[in-house]
A = this chain, B = another copy of it.
Amino acid sequence: MKRHQVTIIDIAKELNLSKSTVSRALTGHKSVKPDTRQAVLELAEKLDYQRNMLAISLITNKTNTIGIIVPEFKSSYFPTAIIGAQEVASKAGYSTVICQSDESYETEVANTRVMLANQVDGILVSITKETRNYDHLKIFQRKGIPIVFFNRVCDEMEVPKVIVDDYDGAYRAVNYLIESGRKRIAHLAGPSSLKISERRMNGYKAALRKHNVPLDEELLISYDLNIEKVKIYVTHLLNLDNPPDAIFAVNDPTAIETIQVIRKRGLRVPEDIAVVGFSNDFVSGLIDPPLTTVSQPVKEIGRTAAQLLIEQISREVADWKSVTKILKTELIVRKST
């Protein structure tokens, strides 16, 4: 199916002009006679002329495109963050290429290839839970293409990052549980490969420490975020000789699944066991019982990340400002505690 694109040259021929003049008219250059410009613009409109960004990008070495790589699309988290990022990006004249790595390191590497081949001006990345090696991301640094991490960041690289205060959020959540009388608080944590899990776990530990509650290793479980496994771990917790009276889950999907498991066992939430999540997903206020959780400004995270990225892109020299923006969280108390 070959189609002939309408080019600047077609317009030039039709009007007996040179491509240079047409180009100038189209790009709004001043040194074009008003009549000429008018004629060019009208013909362009009539012929559905569209400038070929490929050619322009080839010359300018700029595509006005940013890439976004996220690990998944299942929870509302990443779609929401993307909305925020797109909002800022499109306002600044950037379009977005979105790739989803499906929590697979291999796919993430493939995604970066796509981004490079497509000559994106910069990328926004949230890594998979499997990612241990960062060579595929360091290539961008080496080539001078800005990277900004958000949510799941890579500590090895000196680039801007956007996260929330996971430590503080977790601390406040667990602190609340203790102050409302819970004695044995379990934590269903994320994989240790993710800094985010670590920070939330540290918040959990700190809150216990503050109240002189000794850390019971039995109540601290790291899992791989594969939601199907929640059942195994929660069941295990409930079967302990001295089972917990509260569970702090690393994120909302985990918390929601935890509640389902607890109820299937015939126990009540929050009477028998309180449950707290992290993120305040869209669903969390709607479920039964509504979930107590730590909310984070997800859209704002996306916005901030995009902003930082675009700043980097427009910076003339490559002075990798390695800022880390830490956004605030808020404890939302609902009926699950």
Contact = CB atoms under 8 A, between A and B. Distances in A.
A61 B54 CA distance: 10
Given A117-B52, A117-B53, A1 B98 contact: no
A295 interface: no
A58 B61 contact: no
B96 A97 contact: yes
A79 B86 contact: no
B54 A58 contact: yes
Interface string A97-125: 11110000000000001101111000000
A315 B3 CA distance: 13
Interface residues on A, range: 35 or more
A16 B56 CA distance: 30
Contacts of A2: 61
Given A3-B144, A63-B54, A83 B79 contact: no
A289 interface: yes
A5 B117 CA distance: 11
Contacts of A3: 61, 143-145
Contact of A286 (B95, B118, B287, B316): B287
Contacts of A283: 282-283, 286-287
Contact of A50 (B1, B52, B117, B288): B117
A205 to B, nearest CB: 30
A118 B95 contact: yes
Given A98-B96, A114-B95, A5 B61 contact: yes
Interface in A70-98: 73-74, 76, 79-80, 82-83, 86, 95-98
A314 to B, nearest CB: 9
A252 B53 CA distance: 40
B53 A118 contact: yes
A54 B52 CA distance: 11
Contacts of A142: 48
A55 to B, nearest CB: 6
Interface in A142-167: 142-145
A8 to B, nearest CB: 14
15 contacts: A1-B315, A1-B318, A3-B61, A3-B144, A3-B145, A48-B142, A50-B117, A54-B57, A54-B119, A73-B82, A74-B282, A79-B79, A86-B99, A95-B114, A283-B283
